[in-house]
Amino acid sequence: MQLPARCNGIRLLLFYLLAFIVLGATAPVSRAQSPAPAAPPTTEQRADALLKQMTLEEKIGQLNQAGGTFAPGAPSDEELVRKGLAGSVLWISEPAAINRMQKIAVEQSRLHIPLLIGLDVIHGYHTIFPPPLAMAATWDPTLVERVQTIAAREARAAGINWTFAPMVDIARDARWGRMVEGAGEDPFLGAAMAKAQVRGFQGVELGASNHVLACVKHFAGYGAADGGRDYDSSYLPDDLLWNVYFPPFKAAIDAGVGSLMSAYMDLNDVPATGNYFLLHDVLRETWKFNGFVVSDAMAVGNLEMHGYARDREDAAYKAFHAGVNMDMASYSYLNELPRLVKVGRITEAQIDALVLPLLVAKFKLGLFENAYIDESKMLAVFNDPASSKCAREAAQSSMVLLKNDGQLLPLDKSGKTYSSIAVIGPVADSGAAQVGFWGGMITAGKDVVTVVQGVRQKVGSNIRIEYAKGPVIRREMQSKFDALPGNKLHEEPVQSPANAKAAFEQAVATAKRCDAVVMVLGEEALMAGEAASNSALRLAGLQQQLLEAVAALGKPVVLVLINGRPLNISWAAEHIAAILEAWEPGNQGGNAVADVLFGDANPGGKLTVTWPRNGGQEPLYYAHNLTFEPETDPNTKSKYQDQPISPLYPFGYGLSYTKFAVSNLQLNKAKAKVGESVGVSVDVQNMGTIAGDEVVQVYIHQQSGSASRPVRQLKGFERVSLGPGESKTVHFTLGKDELTYWSPSEWKWIIEPAVFDVWVGEDSTASLHGSFEVTR
């Protein structure tokens, strides 16, 4: 029976009536009692009832995500939606356009099925927060959840009901540009961040008002791309998959994430989007995931490019067979599934099984009740002052103080120490660099408080601030996104050598005129993120030369980094007194940088990636295995003959304007039976005269077993705020989850009798040590 969209309510009533008649007729009802009202249908029942009305073509349509932006030459998104041949539309971000598209779906398509509107709301929609790598550096899951709650509210107010986030790929190679989108190198921290983000995006459960459907991505192993080259193959043995690369995905699923995106690359020679082991054996069979899977953009069609599928039909078959519910913008499902059904390679019942979770998600999101947004209410959501306040707090909390010799920072803002400060560098006044790749794709980097602006506002008339950009920076190879229709980010135009020289000289002259210098160096938005691999991690353009020329003036110099990944700052680490990693600090970044530079906020962020000396050290991570050489032997450090093997800065590292002491490590037992927990406690004290945050971190090492275990593994952390002189006892539990690992020789999850080392402290080199033994 066909009813127009506005009759959804009537349809629901008829459903209840039918349910009542059917259920009522079979249930024995005593005369004296009035019949119990029929329970309202579950979303699954509603989805099932709708599925029964759909033609094969319409069902396949639900499995198709239209993406005109990505597919020039394909039928228009509108036409597909009108014919019921698209279940979702990709990459429309303007609220009016979204409403128009939903109207076509709801009022003009035969079954009036609303659309999933998907966009990469990775770290904000209107208010742009620091990206996930920076948010992980806060080590504060509660803050991460708050941030993504705001991102969800803003996105939903604009009509986006589905975000392609969280991105939870473990990244142990800074050459890979997408490191910025995830939480870094560690599975334990990655799992905590994944959970927090899912809760932020989806709310208490999928369908909570002002929230969106989350999509954990990219399943799996994308961050291990060979050589850090984006989209390149990953080769990961099972133990790395289970112990390192899978845990954040599992955590997202346990937190109830409603959808998952398959990755682009080959995993162990089988492209992730056609990988039955990943999408069926692990995801559905082992983890019982009951949401839906969307491919990455064009990844279904790309199975042919990989040399995995014979042709498009085979590509559609392989992705379908592996369990991809929705084809993002390659149109392979739309074009090929009808024939596959006709020739009997797949059945309509199999199609039903893939369509159902998509419909369930739409029902849960409440789209059948209301697919539209009220544009007049959107601005009030965007302009909520609490959001910018939170963005400023998030940026402050994410910054990592890498060096502060002679306590150069915080700078005096009164004007008594410096009457003038030069702010210099290509990203000192760049909104796009501050909001990064995804933030810039949506907002073009507008409405950003840049570092120059933030510093000027902070010091007012006390200090003269002079700004010089210096030579522009560009990628040496063009970004493929430069040419993408709809992209709002573009590279700077090429600067002639003469103009670059003039800009360089002007910057040095500016520094010379001032009492102190803040150099703001790093990466422009398109230099980090997708398709932005970097072989050497060098500071782009003439930034290194400029830094050296300015340092040679002999003034106090602070280096602020705006970037999406560790860069080669080995020279700066030796010659510049103070270095602050500010990441891509978002809309409020300039204010937050100024807060930290001038001491209105005390930095407390800690690295969630090991910082290499240069690109040649990558991949580099703290949780490596032992070799036959004792770790304490100085010769173990000489794996390279040209430089030390140690990183420039270790995982978990970050300074503060105050000092902390971590002491009194206590384990509540020396021996524990397999399955028992061990309690760990430690005292942390602020030894200084100003308030600050310390991230207390717990690492373990299993000394022997059925496999070699990493030299250290993070198994607990807590960010603690302490006033001057204040101290606190922090408690951790090392239980089943922390002591279990997947053994490649036993081929199962296992807790083994062994001696375990425990270290607690301020980073992954912590020396406060204890141990306990697990016995049978």
Name the residues annotated as catalytic. 296
Q: Are 565 and 528 in contact (CB under 8 A)?
A: yes
Minimum Å distance from CB 93 to ligand BGC?
A: 11
Cβ-based nearer residue to ligand BGC, 219 or 363: 219
Tell me which amino acid residue 182 is. Answer: G
Main-chain dihedrals φ then ψ at residue 357, nearest 5 degrees:
-60, -25
Residues in the chain: 776
d(CA 200, CA 39): 31
Tally of CB atoms within 10 A around 493: 7
d(CA 423, CA 402): 19
Residue 720 neighbours by CB under 8 Å, 6+ apart: 684, 693, 694, 695, 696, 728, 730
Cβ-based nearer residue to ligand BGC, 481 or 742: 481
Tell me which amino acid residue 355 is. Answer: V
Minimum Å distance from CB 69 to ligand BGC?
A: 9
Minimum Å distance from CB 70 to ligand BGC?
A: 8
**DSSP for 610-679?**
-B-SSGGG-S--S-PBP-SS-TTSGGGG-SSSSS-SS-SB-TT--B-SS-EEEEEEEES-SEEETT--EE
DSSP code for 131: P
Tell me which amino acid residue 360 is. Answer: V
Minimum Å distance from CB 164 to ligand BGC?
A: 3
Cβ-based nearer residue to ligand BGC, 164 or 598: 164
Cβ-based nearer residue to ligand BGC, 295 or 610: 295
Name the nearest CA neighbour of 211 among 201, 219, 221: 201
Strands 768-775 and 754-761: antiparallel
Q: Are 597 and 558 in contact (CB under 8 A)?
A: yes
Cβ-based nearer residue to ligand BGC, 123 or 217: 217
Enter the tokens of residue 533: 């691999």
Cβ-based nearer residue to ligand BGC, 42 or 478: 478
Cβ-based nearer residue to ligand BGC, 120 or 327: 120
Minimum Å distance from CB 304 to ligand BGC?
A: 17
d(CA 665, CA 676): 19
Minimum Å distance from CB 138 to ligand BGC?
A: 23
Q: Are 608 and 172 in contact (CB under 8 A)?
A: no
Minimum Å distance from CB 522 to ligand BGC?
A: 22
Residue 217 neighbours by CB under 8 Å, 6+ apart: 164, 165, 166, 167, 168, 169, 260, 261, 263, 296
Cβ-based nearer residue to ligand BGC, 297 or 720: 297
Tell me the C-alpha to C-alpha distance, in Å, between residue 350 and each of 321, 327, 388, 529: 9, 15, 47, 36
Minimum Å distance from CB 296 to ligand BGC?
A: 5
In the complex, the residues that contact ligand BGC under the rule CB under 6 A are 120, 164, 217, 296-297, 530
DSSP code for 711: S
Task: Sort residue 470 into left (φ over 0), alpha (ψ -120 to 50) or beta.
Answer: left
Residue 286 neighbours by CB under 8 Å, 6+ apart: none
Minimum Å distance from CB 215 to ligand BGC?
A: 8
Q: Which residue is nearest to ligand BGC (CB)?
A: 164
Cβ-based nearer residue to ligand BGC, 165 or 206: 165
